[in-house]
Amino acid sequence: MRDHHPKKGIEQDMKATFSYLAGILLLTFLPSMVVGTPAYGVSPAATQEKEEARDLIHQTAQATEHAWEEFHAAAIGGTLASPAVQSNIERQLHEARALLMEARKAERDNRFDSVKALTQKIKQITQNIVQASREKKQ
């Protein structure tokens, strides 16, 4: 008479289940490890756009901070060309910061064309601020 071991049947079922789950996991995550993008349909172009948007926002945040530092140094040093220039720079700083917040929202909403347009505008504003901050009193 042959022994029937229920334990062996459970072990075989567990091995089969483990093999099945390992196969699913491998098929799910292997493409993302090889290609570098998730296996759930995110294209490499979208990933690249997201990185580019993040870089643009980081650059413009730094440019805005640099513009503020230039303005602050000139204001503290008393070298700004005039009170009207100071007022104009303060308005531009406010505008640059508001546009930066808008660019961050556009990034979250995956509106990469808006991110590019907004960051370009911020760069122009910050360049104007730096230039105006460096103009000395006559």
Q: Is the pLDDT of residue 82 over 70?
A: yes
Supply the pLDDT for residue 45.
72
Q: Is the pLDDT of residue 83 over 90?
A: yes
Q: Report the predicted TM-score, pTM, of the whole model to 2 decimal places.
A: 0.67
58 token code pair: 């980081």
| Integer Cα distance of 84 and 90 in angstroms | 10
33 token code pair: 């490890």
Domain ranges of the chain: 1-42, 43-138
92-103 in b/e form (b: 16+ CB < 10 A) is: bbeebbebbeeb
Do residues 75 and 132 touch, judged by C-beta distance below 8 A? no
Q: pLDDT digits over 21-68, tens only?
A: 556 655 655 555 555 555 455 567 778 989 999 999 999 999 999 999
115 token code pair: 């991110």
Taking residues 81-99, report their average pLDDT. 95
Taking residues 7-16, report their average pLDDT. 65
| Integer Cα distance of 6 and 22 in angstroms | 24
